[in-house]
Amino acid sequence: MQSAIALPFSQTSLTRSNRVLGSTGSIFSTPRSLQFCGLRREAFCSSPSNHLTLRSDRVRIRSTRFQVSAAATTNGAPPKSFDYDLIIIGAGVGGHGAALHAVEKGLKTAIIEGDVVGGTCVNRGCVPSKALLAVSGRMRELQNEHHMKSFGLQVSAAGYDRQGVADHANNLATKIRNNLTNSMKALGVDILTGFGSVLGPQKVKYGKDNIITAKNIIIATGSVPFVPKGIEVDGKTVITSDHALKLESVPDWIAIVGSGYIGLEFSDVYTALGSEVTFIEALDQLMPGFDPEISKLAQRVLINPRKIDYHTGVFASKITPAKDGKPVMIELIDAKTKEHKDTLEVDAALIATGRAPFTNGLGLENVNVVTQRGFIPVDERMRVIDGNGKLVPNLYCIGDANGKLMLAHAASAQGISVVEQVTGRDHVLNHLSIPAACFTHPEISMVGLTEPQAREKGEKEGFKVSVAKTSFKANTKALAENEGEGIAKMIYRPDNGEILGVHIFGLHAADLIHEASNAIALGTRIQDIKLAVHAHPTLSEVLDELFKAAKVEGHATTKTVSEKVAGDAKIKLNMNEDDPRGPSDNEKQPSLSKDLIVRSTSMSSFVEDIYARVMFLVSRVFV
C-alpha cells in the first residue's frame, strides 16, 4: 500500500499559483492556468475579471495570484530546504501514477511503501481477480455445449487444476508488481521501504527513525476490505477478497455477502468452477450501485440461469467460521426491523461488503487533520482539509483514502492531477468522466450518471433528459461471436447534446466504455461524435449506433476535418484573388474544383511528409 520515488534534482524553477482563504473561511481560488477536464466552462467563470483564452480543446483562466493561509501554524515550522520535491506515501496504482508523472515534470521524487509495490490493485485486487476471471470465462465457454456446437465445434468435458489457476493469478500479480517497481527504478525514483507517516508540515517519517522532507506530500495509502461487526474472519472458511484471490479452495456452497462489483465478479468465478452461490444483500435489490435497467438485465443473464440464489433486504448479523465438523453459520436479520429471518449453513462465506480507507497511524494529528469515517477530507483539488475546515499547505490525498471514487484508475488520475498542480498548472479532475467496469461474463461498464440520478439533476436544474438505447443483437461482430446478449444505454440532454451517462452490458463492455468517457471528459457533444466513423464490423459500432440513435435539437458544433481542409484550400485561393497585383505567371493556372483542391492539398502534405522521412533516413545512413 505504500512506497517511495526519486530523481536527480531539477534546476528548473517551478512556479505555483498561490491561494487565499476568504473572510468566511471558504476558498475562492481562480488559478492562473486552470485546465478544465470535462467540466462546463461556465461552472468556473463566475468572476467578470477572469479572462478566457481558448486554445485547442483546453480552456485556461488567467487571474491574479492569491495565497493559502497555513492550516496549522502550531504544528511546527516547515523546513527551509528539502530532500525531495515530492514524497508519496503509498506505492499502489495511485502512487505509481503520481510518481511517474512527477518524474516527467522534473521533480525529485520519493515513494514510501510499507508492504509491497502495487498496493491492493496489483496484489490483492484488480490484477489477480482478472486472472481468475479469464479462467472462468474460458471455462464457461467450454462448458456451454450449445454455444460450442453453434460454431461447429466439439469439445470434451472441460476440467481445471485449482493450483494451476491459483498460480496463474499469483504469477500475473508478481509480473505486474515487478514491472511497476522496475519502471520507477529506471526513471530514478527513490523507493523507500517502511511504514510512512506525516511528522509535521512538509516532513515525513518512515521505518523506525528515518525522517525526510519535501516541498509537497501525497498520501496514497489505499484501502482494506471492510468487515461488518459480528462477522468472524478466519481466512479459511470465512474470507475476504484478499483470501479469495489465493483460491486455496473451491467450496461446494459459498455465501457472498454483498452484490456489488466484488461479489458479482467472484460469483462468476465460483460458479464457473462448480460452486453454488448464495447472495446476501442488505438492500431490496441485487446490484444496487448499477443503473436499474442494467441491473435487471444483468440479473436475468448473470444470476438467474446460474447456480445462484439470493436473499435481499437482510443483514448477516453474525457469521461463525466452520469448526469441529460444523459448517459456516450465518444469522440473517431483516434490514429494517432487525428481526431474525433465517439461518444459513454453508461451506464458506465471502465478505464483499466494500472497502475501508487505510488511514490509521499516518500521523494526521500532527497536522490537525480529523478523518471522516476513516476517510481523509479533501477539496476538489485533492488538497487535505484540517479539523478547522482550512487547507493543510502542501499536503494532498488521493485514491481510496479520500473516498471520492474508490477505483485504481481514479487514484492514478487524481495523482496526476496533483502533480499538475504542484508544478504550476492547476487542474480539476471531473470524476463523472471516470469509467468503471465489472468483469463478469458478459461485462458491465458505466460512466457518468444513472438514469434516476440524471432525471433528479434535470428536475433541479430545469432541463429535459432523454435516453437512447441499442442492442448487441444488431451488431455483426457480436453475432459472429454468438454473443448477442446485451444493450448500451445513453442518458443525455436533448437541448444541447451533453452526454450525462452511458451504461453498457455485453461483450467487451469494459473496453467499449472509453469512447463515452473520453467524450464526457473532453466535453464532446452527441451532435459532433455521431459524425465519427467506426470500423466495420466491430463492437465499437454498438456505440456508433447509440450516438446516432440520440435525438438532439442542435446541429454539429465543430467543423469536420473535411470542412477544415476545404476551408484552408479556399483561403489559399482567396489570397491570390484578393492580391491587387493579380496572380504571378507562376501562379496562373486553370480554375480547380473544390474537391480537387482538397485532394491536392492533402497530397502535397503527404508528399512533403514522405520526402522529410526519406531525407532523415538518408542522413542517418551517411552519418
Q: Which residues are catalytic?
A: 536
Measured between alpha carbons, how far is 333 from 258 in angstroms, rounded to an integer? 15
Measured between alpha carbons, how far is 566 from 484 in angstroms, rounded to an integer? 41
Phi first, then psi, for residue 581 (nearest 5°) are -80, -10
Q: Nearest Cα to 545, choosing from 476, 455, 442?
A: 476
Cross-strand pairs, 37: 429
SS3 367: helix
SS3 126: helix
| Non-local CB neighbours of 306 within 8 Å, separated by 6+ positions | 267, 271, 277
SS3 372: strand
- Sign of dihedral through CA atoms 48, 53, 54, 56? negative
Residue with cell 457469521: 319
**Beta strands per DSSP E along 282-337:** 308-312, 314-320, 328-334
In the chain, how many H helices and how many E strands? 16, 27
Q: Judge whether 254 and 262 are in contact, CB under 8 Å.
A: no
- Rama region for 313: left / alpha / beta (φ>0; ψ in -120 to 50; rest): left
Convert 497-520 to b/e letters by CB count within 10 Å (16 or more is b): bbbbbbbbbbbbbbebbebbbebb
Measured between alpha carbons, how far is 427 from 417 in angstroms, rounded to an integer? 6
Q: Which three cell numbers stand for residue 493?
A: 440532454
Q: Nearest Cα to 473, choosing from 461, 488, 463?
A: 488
Q: Which three cell numbers stand for residue 425?
A: 498548472
Q: Around Cβ 552, how many Cβ atoms within 10 Å?
A: 21
| Non-local CB neighbours of 578 within 8 Å, separated by 6+ positions | none
Phi first, then psi, for residue 274 (nearest 5°) are 110, 0
CA-to-CA dists, residue 249 to 136, 235, 237, 428, angstroms: 15, 11, 9, 45
Measured between alpha carbons, how far is 577 from 583 in angstroms, rounded to an integer? 8
Measured between alpha carbons, how far is 403 from 376 in angstroms, rounded to an integer? 8
**Beta strands per DSSP E along 569-623:** none
Measured between alpha carbons, how far is 205 from 194 in angstroms, rounded to an integer? 9
